[in-house]
Structure 1
Amino acid sequence: MPPGALRGREHLLPAGGRALDVACGRGAVAAWLAGRGFAVDAVDVSPVGLAAGAALAPGVTWIAHDLTLGLPVSGPYDVVVCQRYRDPALYPALVEVLAPGGLLVVTVLAEVGDSGGPFRAPPGELEAAFGHLRVLASEEGNGEASLVALAP
């Protein structure tokens, strides 16, 4: 299944190349990207999630890593996806590994349309962090914020 921010926008994906799934969990997005011909690196702290992902898509490179220490990979990536993991300190690194013209897809929990909390993005956080890219879609509401953008 495509990442939530890409549903209905799958045409924005490049024809192929390298993809990075940050905080991949059980690997559904990584498997989806691999099924579209991407060479995928998927990163998560959970060995249980990575094992589930490896069973789902054995061709993906599964990387166990604590993202609070930064990204364990270097680009360039044609697609970078980060769903449901919010660490504003990591935002510059997501951009840094993007290839020129690469597609960034980010979805985080948000305060907009929700009661708030320490793990939710305040209004406008993704636009502020990634507004220097070519923003193709940006939405906030119902406790979620998402952004789809192209690197220059």
Structure 2
Amino acid sequence: MPPSMPSAAPPMMTADPSAWVVRWAHAVPAGGRVLDVACGRGRHARYFAALGHPVTAIDRDAAALAELPAMARAICADIESGGWPLDATAQFDAVLVTNYLFRPLLPRLIDCVAPGGVLLYETFAQGNERFGRPANPDFLLHPGELLAAVDGKLRVIAYEDGRLEAPRQACVQRICAVNSASADACCYELRP
């Protein structure tokens, strides 16, 4: 299996959380547990911790994890070759992934979404190669790939597949999907 996109690649990152994540943060149940996968320096872990969510952040870069505030539980693990570092039954009220793709992990991430919980996923898609890195097809989602990954498992609240102009030009897919297995699942407010 190919390795993940190196953390040194020029991602869509800024110090601020992704606009997609901010837009859908209200879908995360109040005080709900958040899992930030391949968190890097933790811009989203910080954001959700500031909103009062207990956060578990996973990354293979120990130096990046060391920058996280004490309010986040940091787990240093290579989730591609070292295995999943959490209990197989662990579930979270939000599972968050940005700028990262390791296809074999997609089913595990979906299984981590607790009833009533939400999956927030945003990463690069085919077409991004014309704007720079990542250009390797192993790191670019195929058209509709996120939709297919959640089909029959999570309810899609929002999905986009297209080109961003800022913070830099990039082709991305992003999804907000909920585990509506709970009888308490409700409609989510759609915000611009």
TM-score w.r.t. structure 1 length?
Answer: 0.89
Deviations 1:112-150 (A, max 9, x none): 465353211111110111122100111111211101100
**Corresponding position of 1:6:** 21
Letter of the structure 1 residue corresponding to residue 107 of structure 2:
P
Deviations 1:88-131 (A, max 9, x none): 11011101111111110011110146535321111111011112
TM-superposed deviation, 1:36: 1.2
Looking at secondary structure, tell me which structure has more strand per residue.
1
Q: Map 1:2-151; keep pairs closer than 5 Å.
A: 2-53=17-68, 57-68=69-80, 69-74=82-87, 75-112=90-127, 114-115=129-130, 117-118=136-137, 119-132=139-152, 133-142=154-163, 143-151=171-179
SS of 1:63's equivalent in the other structure is strand
Deviations 1:36-83 (A, max 9, x none): 111111000001111122xxx211111000010443113220011011
> How much identity, in percent, do the aligned residues show?
36
In the alignment of these two chains, the number of paired residues is 149
> Does the CA contact (< 8 Å) of 1:82 and 1:107 recur in 2?
yes
Q: What is the distance in 2 between the residues matched to 1:7 and 1:19? A: 14
Residue 112 to residue 136, structure 1, CA distance change in 2 (3 Å):
farther
TM-score w.r.t. structure 2 length?
Answer: 0.72
Looking at secondary structure, tell me which structure has more helix per residue.
1
Structure 1 gap segments, 5+ residues each: none
> Does the CA contact (< 8 Å) of 1:70 and 1:90 recur in 2?
no
- Structure exhibiting the larger radius of gyration computed from Cα positions: 2
SS of 2:106's equivalent in the other structure is helix
Q: What is the distance in 2 between the residues matched to 1:149 and 1:35? A: 23
| RMSD of aligned Cα (Å) | 1.6
Residue 136 to residue 121, structure 1, CA distance change in 2 (3 Å):
same
Q: What is the distance in 1 between the residues matched to 2:120 and 2:112? A: 13
Q: What is the distance in 2 between the residues matched to 1:62 and 1:114? A: 32
